[in-house]
Amino acid sequence: MKTGLTTIAMRLLLAGALFASNAIAADFQARLERDSAGNLVLRWASESGKHYVLETSPDLITWTALEDGPVGTGADLTRTVLAAGTDGAARTFWRVSTLASGPIIPVGLFDPNLITTWNPGILADSQLGLALTERKLPTRTTIFRTLQPGDDLNAAIQACPEGSVIQLAPGRFTSPTTVMLNRGIVLRGSGSQGADAGGTTIACAESWPDNDTVVQIGYTPAGYTADSACYDYGSFAKGSFLLAADAVKGSTTIKIGANAAQFKAGDFALIDQRDDAEITAAAMFKREDSVAGRQVLRSISQRVEIASVAGDTVTVASPLHWTFSTAKSAGLARSPRAS
């Protein structure tokens, strides 16, 4: 049920004339007008933070939602209701309603088991404590060194103080091996348009099967270019610690008994569990078990960052998107770290 006030605008085509009127009194008024491109737009004065719903009707009885959710900014809002050159019905009504709160999701519309909290991206600058940029990236302005094509990228990365920037000049940088970005620094190019258009391109001289990774972010032991916690493949394989209790969806705690001492704040890890009959997936690039001579894959997994460790419990930085069950041999594998 919608709550709040409503304003209605009506479009009448009479001898080519266009009329707009408000049929219901409200604390705001919507009006129809033509923009510079000839589109018919609905304009109304919005209140900051208020949610609005746009609907249309041919008869003031049956209403169809055009858009649900525009939020007021304190300035006028406009929405195109009829594109330029488009012939609409001879009589059409539009209305704008305010909601007392945010958009309403009916109870029972979604199975709670299919809903998860999703808040990806960089949420804060834990390294220097500076405000994030508008693009939600850490602010880094201290240039350690500006490199030219032909300079040693890996040597510069290892010499760069954490929190600083290595600036790459325009051009093509060809590294003899994978560029290992395994420290808290910024490797900043001169544009994503590529070397031929004045930007920066990084290439790796090695190719598969020796190495086909150009830039690797994070630490792996010498000679490795894959995270052994994620890619259970040959020599990359890394064992996991079985959970001592179910890790419930939406929680941030994982109990692994005495093995919690193998983790520390800042570590990255992978939590996963064995597949059941409901899951069918490809076998590549995931962990697997051998049970009674049969391959059992671990398709459901989540990468986590360790926030803290206390006793037998590991606390992760973001909620789990799935319940990881001891009945399915759920386990936690730590990604490699330098020490």
Per-position DSSP letters for 29-44, written without gaps between them: -EEEEE-TTS-EEEEE
Would you tell me which CATH number, out of the four given (1.10.3470, 2.60.40, 1.10.10, 2.40.128), belongs to the domain 6-99?
2.60.40
Neighbour count for residue 181 (Cβ, 10 Å): 18
pLDDT of residue 21: 37
Contact of 42 with 78, CB cutoff 8 Å? yes
Query: What was the pLDDT predicted at 118?
Result: 80
Reading the block at residue 118, the tokens are: 């999703």
> Cα separations (Å) of 254 from 161, 223, 237, 320?
34, 31, 22, 10
Q: Is 22 helix (H, G, I), strand (E, B) or coil?
A: strand
Please report the pLDDT score of residue 327 as a whole number: 95
- pTM metric for this prediction: 0.57
Q: How far apart are CA 251 and CA 51, in angstroms?
A: 31
Q: How far apart are CA 129 and CA 122, in angstroms?
A: 12
Of 267, 245, 242, 282, the residue nearest 317 (C-alpha): 267
The per-residue pLDDT for 146 is 97
One pLDDT digit (tens) per residue for the chain, 339 residues? 333 444 444 444 333 333 333 444 445 677 888 888 888 888 888 888 888 888 888 777 788 887 656 788 888 888 888 888 776 655 677 788 776 555 544 545 556 677 787 878 888 888 899 999 988 889 999 999 999 999 999 999 999 999 999 999 999 999 988 888 888 999 999 999 989 999 999 998 876 555 567 888 876 665 555 565 555 444 445 678 999 999 999 999 999 999 999 999 988 898 999 888 777 666 665 666 666 555 678 888 899 999 999 999 999 999 999 999 999 999 998 887 765
> What per-residue confidence (pLDDT) applies to 280?
65
- Sequence-distant (6+) residues with CB within 8 A of 167 are 143, 145, 146, 147, 188, 190
Query: What is residue 11's three-state secondary structure?
Result: strand
User: What pLDDT was estimated at residue 190?
Assistant: 95
Q: Where are the domains of the chain?
A: 6-99, 143-217, 234-334
Residue that is written with structure tokens 């790459």 in the block: 168
Neighbours of 147 (CB within 10 A): 19
